Amino acid sequence: MDIQTDEDEHSIEMHLPYIAKVMEEYKTGFTIIPILVGSLTPEKEAKYGSILAPYLADPQNLFVISSDFCHWGSRFRYTWKDTSRGHIYESIEWLDKQGMNIIEKLDPRAFTEYLNKYGNTICGRHPIGVLLQAISKLQSQSNSPKMSLKFLKYAQSSQCMSHQDSSVSYASASLVFE
C-alpha cells in the first residue's frame, strides 16, 4: 500500500489495545500478524481464503476479522431504505441482519450476491469474504472440521428517524470449530 493508505488505515490501532488487554498474561507467548485486506474480487477472496485456510484450521492460531456493518446517512453516501420495514433504523437492522444470516450460513457466494443486491456499506466485506472462502476451502476437504458461526451482539450508533440522521452498525460473531 502507499503511504497515504497506510496513514489513513486505523483498524490495527483500534484492535491492538483490546488484544493486548485480553492477552496480557500471555504477552510473551504469541505473535500478531496483521493482514490488511483491500478491495478484492470474489476470485481474489477465494485465492486468499485458500491460502489462509490451513492457518484458520490450526488451533494454535486466532483470527480476528474486523468490520463495522451499515454506514447509513448522506455523509456516508448510503441511504437505502425499505419503507415496508418501518423507521429507517428498523430498515437498517433488517438489512444488516440479512447479511448476518448469510454469513452464519458460511456461504461466500450468497454474501457476494447480498452485497451486490443491496450495496450495504460493510467496511470489512472483503475480509469477511476471505474468511468465508477459507471456511469453504476447509469444508471441501474430506476431513473437514465441523464449524459454526454465530452472531453474538448487534447495535447501531443511533436510531435514524430522518434522512438528516446517520448511523453506523456494529456486530460481533464467533466462529467455533467443533
Interval 27-81: pLDDT, tens: 888 888 888 888 899 999 999 999 999 999 999 998 989 889 999 999 999 999 9
Cα–Cα dist 78/76, whole Å: 5
162-175 pLDDT, tens per residue? 999 999 999 999 99
Q: Which residue has the cell 448510503?
A: 78
Asked if residue 23 belongs to a domain, the reply is: no
Query: Does 171 map to a domain?
Result: yes
Q: Give the model confidence (pLDDT) of 112-150 as tens digits.
A: 999 999 999 998 999 999 999 999 999 999 888 899 999
Our measurement of the distance from residue 31's CA atom to the centroid of its chain's CA atoms, rounded to an integer in Å, reads: 22
Q: Give the structural domain span for 56.
A: 37-177
Query: Which DSSP helix (H) or strand (E) runs through 104?
Result: helix 88-104
Check residue 95 and give its pLDDT.
98
Predicted pLDDT at 34 = 85
Q: Tell me if 119 sits within 8 A of 76, measured CB to CB.
A: no
Q: What long-range pairs does 17-21 form, CB within 8 A, spacing at least 24?
A: 19/64
Q: Is the model's pTM score more than 0.85?
A: yes
What CATH number did the domain enclosing 57 receive?
A: 3.40.830.10
36: exposed, middle or buried (Cβ count in 10 Å: 0-12, 13-18, 19+): exposed
Q: With respect to residue 115, please indicate whether it lies within any of the assigned structural domains.
A: yes
Domain count, the chain: 1
Q: What is the pLDDT of residue 28?
A: 87
Confidence (pLDDT) at 33: 87
**Could you tell me which residue, 16 or 42, shows the higher pLDDT?**
42
Instruction: For the beta carbon of residue 32, count every other beta carbon within 10 angstroms.
Output: 12
pLDDT at site 30: 86
